[in-house]
Amino acid sequence: MNHLKVVETSRTGYNTQSVIKTPVAMETKPVNPERAIDQKLVEKAQKGDKRAFGILVEKYHKKLTRLLARMVRDQSEIEDIVQDSFIKAYRAINNFRGDSAFYTWLYRIGINTAKNHLVSLGRRPKAMNDVEIEDVENFEDGQELRNLETPENSMMTGEIVTTVNDTIESLPDELKEAISLREMDGLSYEEIAELMQCPIGTVRSRIFRAREAIAEKLKPLIETSNKRW
Amino acid sequence: MKDKISSLFDNEFTDSELDSLLSDVTKNKKHQINWSYYQITRDVLQGNYVTSSPMTAKIMEAIEKEPTQMGGFVQNSATTLRAEFNYLPHLFAFSVLILIAAMLFNSPINSNSVNSVLLVQDEIPAEMMQAHFAHTATNASYFVQTGFSNIK
């Protein structure tokens, strides 16, 4: 009888299952760091810091666009709804008390804005049930937006994807592995340090250097792309 | 500093670092641009990247026209702690009120006032008290006298 042992490996070839996920309590880390960042940014925005709200816009506009693409099919309409949603969120920012995640709150605003928009055009909005709202924080689906891409945008997407992938391929192995384990496998610095058998500080530095190299290559492309708009 | 911004992007920070790191990102335009490149890299590697119009700039242009929101509800650990215990003064005031009410309810107010009158009376010479009562109309005599005076 053959005993087959199935070991889940990451896209980088590491056995990510063997990493013991135990938090190190040397310095206090927030329980939910993502939410802690958002809460701080909201607090800054509530105190009048519009740039803090800008980071929230940068962080969530694509995610919100992807979600609203399930209700509205027209790209320009979606962009208008996303913009209106953020403006409404900013106007109501003082009412946000952190009872839910910022994105869940923003998503509800987005859904209501989209529904009102469709009703004003005499169209019937698609029902979005509570299960979808509960699951919204984990929602990632680029396909919805790819369906709406213009041929020109699609070409630019191809160029950017190729640039990122080519740059990663050209990186020294340790940088390539660190950034891939972080972005593709979603491992924490501690887990990556354990896998790569190096200090956490080294992991931090490798990921940063990989990002800087990619950013350097992306810069001219993005600048050209922005000038087109 | 830039490597710390990269760590922040990965949610790898300590409580004490968060405030200063976010201040750096919000105040430094270069950090914000890097942040957007980090986001593109992540989207590409996770298969979610799609080119779209630069919406952040458009949205922020509209937000800039909005009146600045000030004085919102600030929820940090200190205020949360304060919020948890801010009922204590009310509880103390309520307890004091209950205590006073209980004391008043149990104490013989009328008898006390009679006692206090008697105590005062003890200190006044007897002849003075007699003179006082002699010239003070009782209820009945007062009204009888008043009634007579009206008839006259």
Name the percent of chain A in helix, strand, coil, to the closest 5: 70, 0, 30
Asked whether A50 and B64 are in contact (CB, 8 A), the reply is yes
The CA-atom distances, in angstroms, between B37 and each of A213, A220, B27 are: 11, 11, 17
- Tokens of residue A227, six digits: 């000038």
Same domain, A128 and A37: yes
A193 contacts: CB under 8 Å, gap ≥ 6: A199, A200, A202, A203
pLDDT digits (tens, 9 = 90+) for A148-186: 667 777 888 889 999 999 999 999 999 999 999 999 999
Pick the more confident residue, B125 or B78. B125
Query: How much is the pLDDT for B78?
Result: 45
CB contact (8 A) between residue A157 and residue B41: no
Q: Per the domain annotation, does A21 fall within a domain?
A: no
Of A98, A119, A148, which residue sits at a domain end? A148
Is B58 in contact with A83 (Cβ distance < 8 A)? yes
ipTM of the complex in this document: 0.73
Chain centre to alpha carbon of residue A115 = 24
- Residues A140, A188 within the same domain: no
Its pTM stands at 0.63
Does the beta carbon of B84 lie under 8 angstroms from any beta carbon of chain A?
Answer: no
Interface test with A, best of B1, B2, B9, B10 (most A CBs within 10 A): B10
Query: Per the domain annotation, does A2 fall within a domain?
Result: no
- Chain A residues close to B26, C-beta within 8 Å: 41, 44, 49, 51-52, 54-55
Q: Are A90 and B63 within 8 A, CB to CB?
A: yes
Least reliable range by pLDDT among A39-53, A61-75, A84-98: A61-75
| The domain boundary residue, chosen from A148, A167, A194 | A148
CA A189 distance to own-chain centroid: 18
Other Cβ atoms closer than 10 A to B36 = 18
Residues A74-130 pLDDT 10s: 888 899 999 999 999 999 999 898 888 999 999 999 999 999 998 888 877 665 544
Q: Are residues A38 and A129 in the same domain?
A: yes
Q: Which candidate in A79, A163, A183, A223 is best for mutational testing of the B interface (most B CBs within 10 A)?
A: A183
How far apart CA A3 and CA A11 sit, in angstroms, is 24
Residue A8 lies in a domain: no
Q: Which region, left, alpha or beta, applies to residue B12 given φ > 0 means left and ψ of -120 to 50 means alpha? A: beta
| CATH number of this structure's domain B2-70 | 1.10.10.880
Q: What angle do helix axes B29-45 and A151-170 make, rounded to 10 degrees?
A: 90
**Using H for helix, E for strand and C for coil, what is the string for chain B?**
CHHHHHHHHCCCCCHHHHHHHHHHHHHCHHHHHHHHHHHHHHHHHCCCCCCCCCHHHHHHHHHHCCCCCCCCCCCCHHHHHHHHHCCHHHHHHHHHHHHHHHHHHHCCHHHHHHHHHHHHHHHCCHHHHHHHHHHCCCHHHHHHHHHHHHHC
Taking alpha carbons only, the member of A187, A197, A202 closest to residue A21 is: A187
Overall average pLDDT of the A12-38 stretch: 65
Residue of A193, A197, A190, A181 lying closest to A21 (CA atoms): A190
Identify whether residues A46 and A120 lie together within a single domain: yes
Last residue of a domain, one of A148, A180, A198: A148
**Structural domain spans, chain B:** 2-70, 82-151
pLDDT class for B10, splitting at 50, 70, 90? very high
Q: How close B21 comes to chain A (CA, Å)?
A: 10
What total of structural domains would you count in chain A?
Answer: 2
A76 occurs within a structural domain = yes
* Domain span holding position A213: 150-229
Are A144 and A35 contained in the same domain?
yes
